[in-house]
Amino acid sequence: MEFKVSELEREPIDFDLELDPGAVDLGEEAVQVGELATSGQAEVLHEHRGPKDIVADIRLRGKFQGKFEIPCARCVEPVQVPLGAEFDLIFRPAEADAEAPERSITAPETEIGYYQGDSLLLEDVLREQVLLSLPVRTLCKPDCKGLCPRCGQNRNSQPCHCDEGPSDPRWEALAGLRGRIKS
């Protein structure tokens, strides 16, 4: 869904949508499962920088809710995670700040994003909001055994035998050290 500044200038636009998987490009970090529900409102806020210098910012307030699959941090098996968040964001035209790159950034301004041209795409905003809401570390279960670093076997489903025998050079070095200490 595209919010055009010219349309928002007339009146704020409400939205209430269910987006199919794939509508929001999440890259490899997460896969959307089922519909992504989102609702809220877009409006224009005018920044009066000078008598003839008025910048049309887009304020987007809303929320999203959906289910996603995220790879387990240890065994990379997909884990289903419900994600949802509320947002209240300001987008400024990309060219509005282009001439003043050295303008100091004050704390509230760090929350400001930019829109290109004369419109803002809801899907772009959601992409960023979903990625921001991802947990730092997702595990399929608290005691996930992970993948064997040597044979790649998922050790949750089947133990491998890589740890048996003295084939790991680190263990061989340790065994040699022990032998020397004893003698």
Contact residues toward Zn ion (CB under 5 A) are 72, 74-75, 140, 144, 148, 150-151, 153, 160, 162
Q: Considering the complex, state which of residue 49 and residue 150 has its C-beta at the smaller distance from Zn ion.
A: 150
Strands (E), 51-183: 53-71, 78-93, 112-115, 119-121
**Rounded to the nearest 5 degrees, what angle is found at the Cα of 87, between the Cα atoms of 67 and 110?**
125
Minimum distance of Zn ion from residue 64's CB (angstroms): 26
Q: Considering the complex, state which of residue 44 and residue 79 has its C-beta at the smaller distance from Zn ion.
A: 79
Q: Is the dihedral of CA 102, 113, 90, 12 positive or negative?
A: positive
Minimum distance of Zn ion from residue 149's CB (angstroms): 8
Q: Considering the complex, state which of residue 36 and residue 144 has its C-beta at the smaller distance from Zn ion.
A: 144
Minimum distance of Zn ion from residue 140's CB (angstroms): 3
Q: Considering the complex, state which of residue 38 and residue 138 has its C-beta at the smaller distance from Zn ion.
A: 138
Q: Which two tokens stand for residue 51?
A: 């008598």
Element (H, E) at 32: strand 31-50
Please state, in angstroms and rounded to a whole number, the distance separating the CA atoms of residues 180 and 172. 12
Q: Which of 147, 143, 166 is nearest to 155 (CA)?
A: 147
Minimum distance of Zn ion from residue 83's CB (angstroms): 19
